Amino acid sequence: MAGRMTGFDADAFRDGIRLAFDMGAAPELDQPDQSQVAFHFASQLVYTGPTDGDGVPFDPNSSVTRVVPNAVQVPCGLEYSNVADERTAFGTVLPSRVKVTLLDEDYAKVKDATYIVVGGEKYVYHHSEMPRGLFDVGLYSITFVSESDL
């Protein structure tokens, strides 16, 4: 069979997966923003004058401002892996991890996140898995590790 399957409704599939992500999310308690995953991005330096290819300003008298992008929330699935209690003489073997599963459209919005916050806990980026898919829909998984376990 050449090409993609005809009759597959990618938008309906995405809607169904997002509904499943919402159903599996922690209930919103006193602080609704803390129960959802918030994706955070690295700050960037913005200069008032032109810069070279490496982002260094041509004019040393240019002023600079640090810009912190707003956190982004998108529907996603979460898998917690708490292995922080496995200790050896060297300390914690593996920090607690959170594996975040995202649809392609939502992944595009957060793929450059350097850390996430969920339930008031900060998890830093560890790695991304190879994307998977179902016909025209991509599925992505990103693993973050607990900052408090590092």
- Structure confidence by residue, pLDDT tens digits, 28-63: 655 555 568 999 999 988 888 888 888 788 888 888
Q: Give CA–CA dist 29/13, Å, rounded.
A: 29
Q: Are 78 and 98 in contact (CB under 8 A)?
A: yes
Please state the length of the chain.
Answer: 150
Quote the pLDDT of residue 141. Answer: 97
Q: Which two tokens stand for residue 40?
A: 């955070």
The domain spans of the chain are 26-42+69-149
Quote the pLDDT of residue 4. Answer: 58
Quote the pLDDT of residue 105. Answer: 96
Calculate the dihedral angle through the C-alpha atoms of 49, 53, 58, 61, rounding to the nearest 10 degrees.
60
Q: Which residues of the chain have a pLDDT value below 50?
A: 1-2, 84
Q: State in Å, rounded, how far the first CA of the chain is from the last one.
A: 48
Q: Give CA–CA dist 13/137, Å, rounded.
A: 8
CB contact burial 1-10 (16+ within 10 A = b; e otherwise) = eeeeeeeeee
Q: Please enumerate in sequence order all residues whose Cβ is within 8 A of that of 53, keeping only pairs 6 or more positions apart, or say none.
A: none
Q: Give CA–CA dist 106/74, Å, rounded.
A: 6
Quote the pLDDT of residue 1. Answer: 41
Quote the pLDDT of residue 69. Answer: 95
Quote the pLDDT of residue 116. Answer: 96
